[in-house]
Amino acid sequence: MTRIPVSILGATGTVGQKFVRLLDGHPWFEVVALAASEHSAGKRYGDVVRWREPVPIPAHLADLVIRPCAVPLEGTIAFSALDNSVAGTVERAFAAAGKFVVTNASHHRMHPLVPLVVPEINADHLGLLAKQRATERWTGAVVANPNCTTIGLVLALAPLHQAFGVTKLVVSTMQAISGSGYPGVPSLDILGNVIPFISHEEEKVEAETRKILGTLGDFVADAPIAVSAHTNRVPVIDGHTETVSVALGERVTPEQAAAVWRAWTGRAEARELPSTPKEIVAVDERPDRPQPRLDIERGRGMTVTVGRVRPCPVFDLRFVLLSHNTVRGAAGAAIQNAELLVAQGIVSR
């Protein structure tokens, strides 16, 4: 099988680098273009990128000349790791030019015509694309994945929601610094410290959770779940840890919840995608797990780990979850969405 040509927009940033790394050797996709700001365009990728991954840059990509983030650009699919300040305009231009834009930027996530997709949960939301393309008169399309904090949360919630109905929840996060990109958080702010604030993060978690767990009709009707998020930055490199207290439609024991998570295989459309992990939600029964340093690599960074499942004195259940914020929470999520587009025949091989 010939691999589908793809480009990466915003290829020099932290998430852009993660795209480069995760797409290296991908069975379906081949990176043919790297695009970045005007400042970098025209230069060799290996000379410009401040490479932060602990493996070398794939040699053939290091030699690519960076392109500006504009059409025309090679590649059927464009992975967007753009800053929000430019993502809207650029992504629309690409979609208009016939590209399938799979974006990690937040700009389009809450747009009513843009599906916000986690394949195991709501692959069917791709149904929005027909209306999106007709309305916008695009020959391409835009598909978004959620915020890095939302995605771990919704993957832990979805099985519970399907089995018991989630009605409300309080989530408090301890988020890794890589979520803020590079240079991102100054070391003087975070070394030996906690920053109990991440700009716009709580709003994103609350709104995106309802959309992803919502129901597709003409548009997506939000799930009627009250979400209260507290988002915090802690001195961890990779991996967002979240504590969750959740009210369900019925009384549920920790054992029942664990059984539901373990049995959960997600939507059929997601099952054969290369990036879908064997275990979507792992339940770790050790008393002090999950921990970011030890558990984020589970399922090559695509598995969400749940632990400390116990009754909640205020709601029904409480637990801790962990997900890899730059894999499952960013580049890996977008790549899985692109795989879904291919598997569903929306992008043809």
Q: At 176, which amino acid appears? A: A
Q: At 162, which amino acid appears? A: Q
Distances from the Cα of 92 to the Cαs of 15, 74, 340, in angstroms? 20, 16, 21
**283-293 CB burial, b ≥16 within 10 A, e <16:** bbeeeebbbbe
Active site residue 312: no
Active site residue 148: yes
Position among 35, 61, 123, 170 found at the interface with a copy of itself (CB under 8 A): 170
Determine if 44 is a binding residue for a copy of itself (CB under 8 A). no
CB-nearer residue toward a copy of itself: 139 or 187: 187
d(CA 340, CA 260): 24
* Other Cβ atoms closer than 10 A to 282: 20
Position among 187, 249, 274, 285 found at the interface with a copy of itself (CB under 8 A): 187
Binding-site string for a copy of itself from residue 239 to residue 268, where x marks contact by CB under 8 A and - marks none: --x-x-x-----------------------
Position among 190, 216, 258, 259 found at the interface with a copy of itself (CB under 8 A): 190
Residue 123, burial from CB neighbour count under 10 angstroms (0-12, 13-18, 19+): buried
> Strand 226-230 and strand 304-311: pairing?
unpaired
Position among 86, 96, 97, 195 found at the interface with a copy of itself (CB under 8 A): 195
Judged by CB under 8 A, how many residues of this single chain contact a copy of itself? 59
Determine if 236 is a binding residue for a copy of itself (CB under 8 A). yes
Cα angle 341, 323, 199 (rounded to 5 degrees) comes to 90
Catalytic residues: 148, 240
Residue ranges that bind a copy of itself, judged by CB under 8 A:
14, 52, 54-55, 168-170, 172, 174, 177-178, 182-197, 206, 226-228, 230, 232, 234-237, 241, 243, 245, 287-297, 307-308, 312-315, 318, 320
